[in-house]
């Protein structure tokens, strides 16, 4: 195993506009200030805390603003048309063409993920030699989250989004956390097998189905339910700030 194989890199999805923020000048969602810092900076900080220093960002709406705010220490991939999380990762395929290590993929609007959770995911990914490792948790009210599908042996075989779930699947309380570690070579070698959802978008979660159909290992690591909280509305932003303010006082 050479050094290239052992490497770990990060990919942050940061192309969104944040259409549910109505007030003020439109701005890239990942630059929304959280306690005075762009929310994406918390994601980057967690990656670095887990030992991931080589980080690429997928940018779209307000790309120049994001690049201007974060600087030249990162590599940037442009997603010219927003067609879902899977499409965002597709846009980075050429950039990672010669990379055969582990790729940590995160959303730029999930500032509560801890470096400790990412560390556990990376360790589990390596230990199990998985093609994908997921962050998962169990919620009393799983509404709105993708449900984790397991077979009779407890193996993860898919993720079904809320709007596509059957009544029975909606009863599942184990949900997808939205952070992933991929075998990069496998990911980009098979990403064309993703299918569009009912909205015409590519969900990155569909790669779990692809891996399961190939009888490959999909691992899962439990995370704190709090870590799942994303920022799509001013109300959610206020809640995230309250949680982070509390952590600063601990």
How far is residue 194's CA from residue 172's CA, in Å, rounded to a whole number?
24
Q: Which residues pair with 80 in a beta bridge?
A: none
**20: annotated active-site residue:** yes
Residues 227/138, Cβ–Cβ less than 8 Å: no
Residues 202/193, Cβ–Cβ less than 8 Å: no
Catalytic residue among 20, 127, 170, 245: 20
What is the longest distance spanned by two Cα atoms in the chain? 52
**What are the φ and ψ backbone dihedral angles of 219, each rounded to 5 degrees?**
-100, 160
Q: Which residues pair with 183 in a beta bridge?
A: 102
In the structure encoding, which two tokens stand for residue 108, read together?
A: 């730029």
Catalytic residues: 20
């Amino acid at each position: 195993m050479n050094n290239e194989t052992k490497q770990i890199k990060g990919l942050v999805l940061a192309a969104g506009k944040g259409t549910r923020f109505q007030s003020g000048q439109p701005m890239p969602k990942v630059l929304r200030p959280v306690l005075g810092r762009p929310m994406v900076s918390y994601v980057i900080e967690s990656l670095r805390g887990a030992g991931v220093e080589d980080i690429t960002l997928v940018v779209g709406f307000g790309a120049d603003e994001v690049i201007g705010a974060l600087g030249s220490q990162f590599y940037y991939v442009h997603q010219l048309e927003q067609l879902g999380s899977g499409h965002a990762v597709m846009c980075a395929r050429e950039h990672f063409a010669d990379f055969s290590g582990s790729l940590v993929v995160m959303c730029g609007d999930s500032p509560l993920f801890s470096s400790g959770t990412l560390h556990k995911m990376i360790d589990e990914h390596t230990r199990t030699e998985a093609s994908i490792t997921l962050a998962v948790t169990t919620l009393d009210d799983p509404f709105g989250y993708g449900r984790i599908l397991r077979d009779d042996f407890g193996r993860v075989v898919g993720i079904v989004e809320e709007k596509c779930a059957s009544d029975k699947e909606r009863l599942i309380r184990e949900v997808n956390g939205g952070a992933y570690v991929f075998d990069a070579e496998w990911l980009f070698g098979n990403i064309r097998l993703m299918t569009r959802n009912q909205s015409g978008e590519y969900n990155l979660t569909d790669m779990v189905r692809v891996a399961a159909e190939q009888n490959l290992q999909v691992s899962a690591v439990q995370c704190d339910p709090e870590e799942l909280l994303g920022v799509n509305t001013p109300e959610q932003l206020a809640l995230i700030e309250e949680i982070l303010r509390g952590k600063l006082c601990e």
